[in-house]
Amino acid sequence: MLPESGPPCDVVVVGSGAAGLRAAIAAAEAGARVCIVTKGPLLYSGASASANFSYCASFGYFGAGDTAEAYAADILASGHGLAEPALALRLAEEAGREADIVEGWGVRWRRDEDGRHQLATFGGHRFHRAIHVGLRTGKALMVALGRRTQALGIEVRDHSVALEVLVRDGVAAGLLLLDLRQAALVALPAGAVVLATGGNVAMYALHTNPDELTGDGLALAHAAGATLIDVEFVQSYPTVLLSPPAARGLHYPTGRLLGFGARLLNGKAEEFFGRYESVPIQQARRDALSRAIALEVAAGRGSPRGGAFVDASAVAPGMLRDVHFEGYFQDLELDVGRDLQEVGPTPHFTLGGVRIDRDGRTDLPGLFAVGEVAGGLHGANRLTGVALPEALVFGAAAGRATSAAASVDRKRDARAADSPWVAKIATALRPRRSGGTHVGEAAAALRRAMQAGAGVLKSARSLREALAALDAISPALSDLASRQTGLRFNWELARILELRHMLEAARFHAVAALRREESRGAHLRTDHPETRDPGWRRHQLVQRDRVMDATIG
Amino acid sequence: MSGFEEFDVTVRIWRQAASAEAGVWQEWQVRIPRGDHVLNLLAAVRRNGDPSLCFPAHFCKIGTCGACALLVDGRPALGCRALVKEPFVEVAPPRGRMILTDLLAEDAPH
């Protein structure tokens, strides 16, 4: 089966979360012919829709000190010395403007009678910066971006898995994808490619994200020759529900509940945060909360399932209603006001990613990366409320910048007949031997290995075990075959192909984490608990399978 | 799984290769934690029964996006919100939408 040629376009955007849609809109508004390629249906793909509450922007409500520079400084402090100043400043300067733009497209930020945004606060932010629409801010954002995307008539190729950024003469020239709806392997010629595929925390057995976030963009960028940065950093959400079964992996908004009077308890019903940190728990950043819980569990004082308990019995019922996900908790039969909830730190956000400049350019001409797939903005930890503005600010910047890349006179030669994916697909479609491993088992083995060895707490030993497990999975990949026939909605084939992406992302993470012999932000090594400044105050880059060091800025 | 009480569930699922083709009911037995939700039940079928089972794979996991709309025991429900507490459950695609494959339907109009 050889790839067929798709209709050429100026810009291909891979992914349809907030970053991808914002990039597509900006490029289309600049006059580009844009095609969005997305694994799922348009409005339901990616992690953006699950963003529960906040979008942090600096509007200067608090006087002379409340500036973009102050916001950027908070991002840099949160990043433990590794956040990139140029990226942080761009985010801080433009988050407010982007909030205004999407308001024009239908996002109804809550405002007081005098017109000022209603604001909430989170640990690590020196001013109140969190604007919101009540709950479901991410969903509101996605609906508005989706409407704008459709109003502009942007072409969408849904149910399609991206396989390879096609590179000709050292520049991105298109995308190879598997279109499950059209049952076709397609080479799309394009003047620029924007990766907006989200992170890769689906490489863990228990995580907060949609399971589709398998690191596709990270693997595609690396294979195309672009540089990755800070891939050892994956942020945990400190309080993810561990029980009951239907609620496992659901992030529990403890940060807000703590501000309303909830308490965090260990398995012996003792408050313990003060053992690890001097700041009041209400002001703690996510990395500090995760670290405290993980260390308390490691000390043998955890809850039965390896976490801690949140006691919200002292929180006013009106405040509790506010964090109930509109009835979801009731449907899951959680009574958060009455019962202790068992929670633990669980992978939530991929901090590192593809290295970019202020416009989302990677170091491969014509290739851009925006949103969670990109790295460098957050360094070693992410502030609450920065992910959504990151998606919009860098999505918009890259979308505008693509027009320059796409208009460069360039032969859009996107033939893909020699792509290694042609053989990989043929292998995965051959009749399967009975009794062999299937992709669900191989993916589960990868996820177990990463959870056990490269999760919240790491050591050289645990990481070596994880890497050995990944090495054992690797040869089995070419034995995997789909039990479905044909390409049409052949999800088992799609899972086999994206498992290759996920294995790459997992390996980069574990290798870089093993090499970083210290603890910093979200990176917690039990065998190296100290932060080693200035020695380790540097990035690790991955390029062509080699890891190397780089300075900040 | 992490010390939860498990039980055996018989699940009857509507299978249909495409909207123009005829559909059939198929049944599987799976063992899942009592009170898990329907999406995890379907994942267990795909893992241990038939890997080709197609159901909404892209969803928010917090009960808000609506992508996992299904018919559970004949009633409209979100797969992530409907809990499995009885030993028999029936799952069909949402009403009034074109079926792409099995339980996966075309998007509802936005």
* DSSP conformation letters of A162-185: EEEEEEETTEEEEEEEEETTTTEE
Nearest Cα residue in chain B from A326:
B64
CB distance A139–B40 less than 8 Å?
Answer: no
CB atoms within 10 A of CB A52: 18
Asked if the model's pLDDT at residue A49 lies above 90, the reply is no
Q: Beta strands A4-5 and A171-179: pairing type? A: unpaired
Tokens 């989200």 correspond to A198
Chain B residues 72-101 within an 8 A CB cutoff of chain A: 81-83, 100-101
Q: Which of B7, B46, B60, B106 to mutate to test the interface with A (most CBs of A within 10 A)?
A: B60
Which candidate from B2, B52, B82 shows the least CB-CB separation from A484?
B52
Q: Domain range for residue B93?
A: 6-107
CB distance A304–B52 less than 8 Å?
Answer: no
Which candidate from B33, B37, B51 shows the least CB-CB separation from A440?
B51
Number of domains making up chain B = 1
Whole-number pLDDT of residue A322 = 66
Averaged pLDDT score across all residues of chain A: 92
Each residue's pLDDT tens digit, A277-299: 999 998 888 889 999 999 999 99
Q: How far apart are CA A260 and CA A324, in angstroms?
A: 14
B95 falls within a domain: yes
Which candidate from B4, B62, B63 shows the least CB-CB separation from A245?
B4
Mean pLDDT value across residues A144-160? 96
B81 falls within a domain: yes
B1 falls within a domain: no
B26 falls within a domain: yes
Nearest Cα residue in chain B from A246:
B36
Range scoring the smallest mean pLDDT among A68-72, A96-100, A405-409, B94-98? A405-409
Each residue's pLDDT tens digit, A194-211: 999 999 999 999 999 888
For residue B62, give how far its alpha carbon lies from the nearest alpha carbon of chain A (Å): 6
Residues of chain B with pLDDT under 70: 1-2, 108-110
**Residues from chain B contacting residue A248 (CB–CB below 8 Å):** 2
Asked if the model's pLDDT at residue A14 lies above 90, the reply is yes
Q: How far apart are CA A445 and CA A464, in angstroms?
A: 15
CB distance B54–A482 less than 8 Å?
Answer: no
Each residue's pLDDT tens digit, A469-494: 999 999 988 889 998 888 999 988 99
Q: What is the CA radius of gyration of chain A?
A: 22
Asked if the model's pLDDT at residue A414 lies above 90, the reply is no
B35 falls within a domain: yes
CB distance B37–A139 less than 8 Å?
Answer: no
ipTM greater than 0.95: no
Of the candidates A122, A120, A118, A96, the residue with the CA atom closest to the CA atom of residue A109:
A118
CATH number at residue B84: 3.10.20.30
CB atoms within 10 A of CB B73: 14
CB distance B107–A43 less than 8 Å?
Answer: yes
Whole-number pLDDT of residue B110 = 47
B101 falls within a domain: yes
B14 falls within a domain: yes
Each residue's pLDDT tens digit, B37-51: 999 999 999 888 787
Whole-number pLDDT of residue A348 = 94
**Residues from chain A contacting residue B76 (CB–CB below 8 Å):** none
